Amino acid sequence: MPKGVSWRIGLIVLFLVGSFVYLTPTLMGGKLPSWWGGLLPKDKIHLGLDLQGGTHLVLEVETPKAVEGKLDLMITDLEDTLVVKTIRSKQIVKSGPDRIAVTLYDKASADSVAKLLKEKYPQLELSSPVDDGGFYTVVLRMGEKEQQDTKDKSVSQALETIRNRIDQFGVSEPVIQREGIDHIVVQLPGIKDPKRAIELIGKTARLEFKLVDEGANPAPGMPIPPEDERLTEKKVDATTGATNEIPLVLKRKTLITGDLLTDAQVRIDSQYNQPYVAIEFNSLGAKLFDQVTAANVGKRFAIVLDSTIYSAPVIRERISGGSAQISGSFTEKEAADLAIVLRAGALPAPVKIIQNVTVGPSLGQDSINKGLMAGLIGVVLVVIFMTVYYKLSGLIANFGMVLNIIYLMGALAALGATLTLPGIAAIVLLIGMSVDSNVLIFERIREEMRLGKTAKASVDAGYDKAFLTIMDSHVTTLITAAVLFQFGTGPVKGFAVSLSLGIIINLFTSLLGTKVIYDFILGRTHVKKLSI
């Protein structure tokens, strides 16, 4: 065997075996034999939404709401801090989308609060106390940088929260990624109930416990104190299924939030056989719940989720232990979804669905069939053309093309890439590219043979002279694929992945895979004229 041929053949065989090992789970349909285990791969090639059906969502995080939410939390924190410091305040309110105004009764209190705010929130802008008709107002403002940091963190937190919800919902192989400044792309392949999944993803799930203001008139249109808010409690009649909305006036101040939960599970009420959600607080939440219930025995305590009252029971006695329950007219699915969003946590800001594309599984299977048919027709036509036009050398090029396809599919499986319909289009394109490289080489070999060189010298010169041309064309295409991957989304990324892998593999098969066959044949036999 000619020098240098052995290791090249060994490399080709090694890659071939590796490709089949990684492709085995796909070829076996995921039904692997019992001895297949350990370090051997078990994942099939993932199929995109356009091939197996599913839902593609683009969500927009309403980041200004995250800034407002942070200001609300600061107001609550400030109220508690001033109570502890025994400083009386007239009011603490948002005076704009980025600022809080603290109004006090005297200059000394205003100076003390200004000093306190400077220490507590050094990153925020603070104004000097201003005389406001006998009262003194201090304004705390969130600067542009702080706002932007809050917005950026809200998108990152929303991404993780949505991922946790989807993981608990049980969707296999979801794609959840950030896109741009405030967008999140969610792909749910093979999902059977897209409407339920969308509701689960989009629910803000901000859980709050607030006291009911029994002294205020809940009727719509009636004035209520500025420290109160009017919300509605939904009640469903068990016999008729009719929904009634009962208005209630609640204290704006949130006593406990869902951030203090450690668990939420669905339970069945043994008396009424109705599902409810049992919740558990962490140590801080349990302490607060104990204090709040002890201080408000006989009062109504509203459980509010996303500005809707789920229940408002009367506190009969002090509740210790950190356990509570959210009851309502739930179906088992509704209770299960509520438990999921409570366990995963609340979104830091509401999300808005700006794109919703659902692909049915039958359409996906049709796409697979058409894609495979297109690829098969492409392979057959290329094989026939190369065999007729380049004879025996054409068969060598066809061998390189088959290697190309096997290596590419093996690489997709090894990297856990997702195969999409545009990805199949890229594979069909690469079938043409693989023989195109060999066409360049064969034409150079023909030129050398017309100059009277021997078969081996013509082959060596043909590969050497075509090398730079092939390399240039592949590198420029690879740059294009990299740009598509960086800035494209969804199916475009699938096309870019298949194209990039195919280009790299094609360099190997066209410059080394087919050359080693020539070297093997010409090294063992005295060929005077090539079949080309």
Percent of the chain with pLDDT over 90: 9
Distances in Å between the Cα of 319 and the Cα atoms of 37, 255, 295, 372, 407 are 52, 15, 11, 64, 64
Around Cβ 359, how many Cβ atoms within 10 Å? 20
* pLDDT reading at 3 higher than 70: no
pLDDT at position 239 is: 67
* pLDDT reading at 308 higher than 90: no
* pLDDT reading at 361 higher than 70: no
Task: Tell which residue, 487, 497, 490, has the closest CA to residue 412.
Answer: 497
Tens-place pLDDT, residues 347-360: 888 888 898 887 77
CATH architecture of 66-146: 2-Layer Sandwich (3.30)
CATH architecture of 5-53+361-524: Up-down Bundle (1.20)
Q: Where are the domains of the chain?
A: 5-53+361-524, 66-146, 203-357
Supply the mean pLDDT for the chain.
85
Tens-place pLDDT, residues 313-341: 888 888 888 888 887 777 788 888 888 88
Identify each DSSP E strand in 275-414 by its residue range: 275-281, 301-305, 308-311, 323-326, 351-359
Q: In which order are the strands placed within the sheet that holds 308-311?
A: 243-251, 228-236, 308-311, 301-305, 207-211, 256-257
Q: Do domains 5-53+361-524 and 203-357 have the same CATH topology?
A: no
pLDDT at position 234 is: 77
CATH number belonging to domain 203-357: 3.30.1360.200
